Amino acid sequence: MVLLTRTCAAIEPLDAKSQEAVLAHQARLTKPAGSLGRLEALSVQLAGIQRTKTPRAEQGAVLVMAADHGVCQEGVSAFPQEVTAQMVHNFVAGGAAINVLGRLAGARVVVSDVGVASDLPDGLPVHRKKVGYGTKNMAVGPAMSREEAVAAVEAGIEVFNVEFERAPFDICATGDMGIGNTTASSAIASVITGKSPAQLTGRGTGIDDEALKRKIAVIETAIAKNAPNPGDAIEVLAAVGGFEIGALAGVILAAAARHVPVVIDGYISGAAALIAAGIAPLSRQYMIAGHVSADSGHAAMLEHLGLAPLLDLGLRLGEGTGAALSILLCRAACRILNEMATFDSAGVAEKAE
């Protein structure tokens, strides 16, 4: 708990002076005021986060957290639990969608085992931060203890800190892997936003109508049985969450404490962002919504967080894919700010007399 407390204490509001300097500089660029829309607002946010009038998004990292879920025993996924470990191998081999998009975005993909239900082979280049061999079945009791919930969040903080100190990056993104994790994410979203599981729950990996009904019923049962306090994010995580969701919340908190912008991916990352914001409300200022997922309920998560997504491409894969794409937009916003000519330097008249 010491690491979590120390990390949260280090989170500060964005730097207003840097943001004011960027706004003043944008007013001198060779374009009509506001004509680059969201890119302009994005550069202002990035400047405030990084505390500089020349923000950068050249070097990136996608931090992928992997864990399994005991609620899979209720038949809530179209894929078997073994896929979690298999996909970790795929990430390490560089063959997953996030590897492709990470390479495109200039962002290294870092994989962590925070709760895979099996032992990964020795020598596999992943961070080994296993809190447990998957969560317990939240339909019959809490997914984890409060101590495990804190450990999961601190695992994400530790991974972020190690990677940032090893090779600093300008921007990071959240990614996930865990069969059954949309069920946990829907439960978290329902508790925190107050919306019903039926409003928030989608088909995840592609379940049919009967499985969707079962999934909603399982979430309703889990919330009723565990009755977490919406005002206590750690309690919510312990009752109905996942180890990778907790670890991603830790990544978000660590990024905020280190003044690093964090691009939030889809549904699972949205649940982690809800947990992070519940633990440390100031962390919202450091979040950038990479995209809005096709999964039902993600838009409601973003609305609750007060975040507007950069992209809407119908993505629902997770892994950090939508966030990786949005790193490119963040880089574009920074380069426009830093490289575009001003009216004075280009000798261009600002307005007609």
Task: Tell me the CA distances in angstroms from 284 to 14, 36, 203, 277, 298, one per residue in order.
Answer: 10, 24, 28, 6, 16
Tens digit of each residue's pLDDT (9 = 90 or more) over 137-184: 999 999 999 999 999 999 999 999 999 999 999 999 999 999 999 999
pLDDT for residue 9 is more than 80? yes
Q: By C-alpha distance, which of 263, 323, 331 is closest to 57?
A: 331
Segment 4-17 shows an average pLDDT of 98
pLDDT single digits (tens) 201-242: 877 667 788 888 889 999 999 999 999 999 999 999 999 999
Confidence band of 322 (pLDDT split at 50, 70, 90): very high
| CATH 3.40.50.10210 at 60-332, yes or no | yes
Check residue 205 and give its pLDDT: 67
pLDDT bucket at 122, cuts 50 / 70 / 90: very high
Q: Residue 347 above 90 pLDDT? A: no
pLDDT at residue 337 in the model: 96
Q: Would residue 319 show up in a list of annotated catalytic residues for this protein? A: yes
pLDDT of 248 reads 98
* Range(s) of the chain covered by CATH 1.10.1610.10: 2-55+337-346
Among candidate residues 20, 319, 339, 353, the one labeled active-site is 319
Q: How far apart are the C-alpha atoms of 62 and 173, rounded to whole Å? A: 5
Instruction: Read off the pLDDT band of 74 (50, 70, 90).
Output: confident
List, by residue range, all CATH 3.40.50.10210 domains of the chain. 60-332
Please state the rounded mean pLDDT for residues 102-127: 97
Task: List the structure tokens of 297.
Answer: 């309920």
pTM: 0.96
Q: Which CATH fold topology does 2-55+337-346 show?
A: 1.10.1610
Q: For the segment 298-318, what is each residue's pLDDT rounded down to a tens digit?
A: 999 999 999 999 999 999 999
Question: pLDDT above 70 covers what percent of the chain?
Answer: 99
pLDDT score at 352: 53
- Is it the case that residue 350 has pLDDT exceeding 80? no
pLDDT at position 157: 98
- pLDDT number for residue 269: 98
